A and B are shown apart, each in its own frame.
With several copies, the nearest count.
Chain A
């Protein structure tokens, strides 16, 4: 679960990390009300999860209530422009009105989990305000990393070492170890997967302030923090996750694509391999779907309806490796599911293995479905049928 900037900054505040004074506004009117009588220049920022707000014109300066209202209207008028990962763009549902900092320097710092090292890693660069991958290409020597031993946790020397190694401006040095301490505390306390401050600003009057906030929470740890449930409601919906949840499968278990071959398999690895098999056979999948264990009638029906009703599938390729479940039981489940569903029917190609697999295939044949013996055969058959459809 990725947090919006204003949510991340709320966590920063709780953890004692300095952020600009700000107000979260739901519409232009609220921006104007907040800026009524406020002195100086302010920044109005779209609250969205997509990157590239600046380039998209979604961050604007404003002085006074009237200008505040008009830039807010401009920002909210259009959604964030689409990109490859978000082909629909992202609507702007709220704004952060923030004190404009007089910034002297911009640095970068982040904490995330390094998979290979199996440790938290703190990343610091003296270049902030731009994409860290760009910095890594252009100024690799400016990036310093520290892998934290979880049995020790964070200790101030790590911040000192990083400040020296990344050659942070001396203006940062005094406060930096304490800022990282607070950031590590936040990272650890809330089960955070990534926390990033970019830029970490050094102001003209010598303060060190988190000018932006990016926080990714671990979905698997959210049960420990019921207080974040209200924040989730403010986030843009991931429609695939919502549909998966409605169908009773895990939110990571369903993902839609533009193709015509609907797929479903038991197990994430097998479901990925099923997608690959369809591609190998020259087709394009309509979805990734892991039905999980226990492929009983109700579950199969839910998954079938999910795919038929929400994707462009012209055929549905079911790939069940019957490790523990019996082939005939799975076949009966599928037949029952198809008898019960009120959704429109598309051809089914079913690959089924396991104990009593022949009996299973007989049941399927009698129900006029297409049983196959291998994943490759099933993929070829499904692709062939999708072309015909």
Chain B
């Protein structure tokens, strides 16, 4: 198995003829992702270089292809509209790559689309190696296997996945949940899915400063996944309070969101916290060996 995404997930791309959309459509297609079409209003009837049908609306795309998943590449002012359109057309899984979506837009969409799983916004997407890749992640770093990876960042995730792959530790599903303060799917929601995934034998949590997603993930692991090998990493330990570093969500406000609090939470849950990404494979191998 794997979570959220597999070989048969039928996926469309919203904004498929835009610069970003067409570039990443090609990469996803070449990875072997089951893309079934795309949407650009006014370009219905065209075909992409890969031969994918372009539709004017998500409703038409879903009717013609049976798509259940969407990957959204549209500018920030239109991201909420794209998500509503997907929801209204019956899409159940949406990945929103767009960075810079107003936080109230995300807040409202998350509240008004019950039953649709949203990954992001401001995220690199996700991959179930060997099956499908949705978003902007580089396919070549992945290898199919038993490690679930959840992360708030992009390149750092690829870095960590690359380290895992080089160490022979393949992945079940890797999810970049996004760097914004409000995101559609949190670490805990990913962990809840991993809990029921037989392919996933261990988990890497790649957190960063800001918010309390890491603390909640630690508590969830302690309560629901005490037996599972889990390793964590926290980026931004040396960040000053009051300034967000790159990600809108990576900000320490007062006593909230500090690396100390996150590290303490992981350690209290029995989860080792790597000092540097390069330590992750060894920590993981160690935990897997103890279990076996």
Contacts and interface: CB of A to CB of B under 8 A. Distances in A.
In the complex, are there CB atoms of A and B closer than 8 Å? yes
Contact of B76 (A157, A220, A270): A220
Contact of A120 (B60, B80, B107, B275): B107
Interface string A246-273: 0000101101010000000111111111
B103 A191 contact: yes
Given A157-B57, A164-B57, A252 B107 contact: no
A106 B246 CA distance: 38
A271 B245 contact: yes
Interface string B226-256: 0000000001111111111111111000110
A279 interface: yes
A288 to B, nearest CB: 5
Interface in B15-65: 27, 41-42, 44, 56-60
Contacts of B103: 113, 191, 193, 218, 220-221
B181 interface: yes
B154 interface: yes
Q: Is the interface of A mostly helix, strand, loop or mixed?
A: mixed
B102 A220 contact: yes
Interface in A199-248: 218, 220-221, 223-224
Nearest to B44: A164
A157 B278 contact: no
B100 to A, nearest CB: 5
A323 B158 contact: yes
Given A252-B247, A268-B179, A273-B277, A113 B140 contact: no
A121 B125 CA distance: 29
Contacts of B70: none
Contacts of B60: 164
Interface residues of B, number: 78
A285 B111 contact: no
A295 to B, nearest CB: 11
B85 A157 contact: yes
A152 interface: yes
A273 B111 contact: no
B211 A270 contact: no
A217 to B, nearest CB: 10
B212 interface: yes
Contacts of A119: 107, 111
Given A157-B88, A220-B100, A276-B238, A267 B156 contact: yes
A336 to B, nearest CB: 22
A313 to B, nearest CB: 16
B81 A118 contact: no
Interface in A120-160: 120, 133, 149-152, 155-158, 160
B136 interface: yes
A285 B88 CA distance: 48
A269 B152 contact: yes
Contacts of A160: 41, 56-57
A261 to B, nearest CB: 11
A314 to B, nearest CB: 18
Interface string B84-109: 11011000000000001111110110
Given A115-B212, A374-B278, A273 B156 contact: yes
A288 B85 CA distance: 38
Contacts of A218: 102-104
Contacts of A321: 155-156, 158-159, 162
A221 B104 contact: yes
B291 interface: no
Given A118-B107, A280-B276, A324-B138, A270 B153 contact: yes
A116 B216 contact: yes
A161 interface: yes
Interface string B151-186: 111111111001000000000000000010110000
B167 to A, nearest CB: 13
A313 B166 CA distance: 33
B112 interface: yes
A222 B211 CA distance: 23
Given A116-B216, A161-B57, A85 B138 contact: no
A150 B155 contact: no
A323 B243 CA distance: 27
B77 interface: yes
B204 interface: no
A290 interface: yes
6 contacts: A118-B111, A269-B152, A269-B155, A269-B208, A272-B245, A277-B276
Given A270-B153, A323-B137, 6 more contacts: A113-B103, A149-B88, A149-B111, A157-B81, A220-B103, A273-B156
Interface of B: 27, 41-42, 44, 56-60, 76-78, 80-82, 84-85, 87-88, 100-105, 107-108, 110-113, 136-138, 140-141, 151-159, 162, 179, 181-182, 206, 208-209, 211-213, 216, 235-250, 254-255, 275-278
Interface of A: 85, 113, 115-116, 118-120, 133, 149-152, 155-158, 160-161, 164, 173, 188, 191-193, 218, 220-221, 223-224, 250, 252-253, 255, 257, 265-273, 275-277, 279-280, 285, 288, 290, 321-324, 353-355, 374-376
Question: Shortest 3 CB-CB distances between A and B: which pairs?
Answer: A269-B153, A268-B246, A267-B155
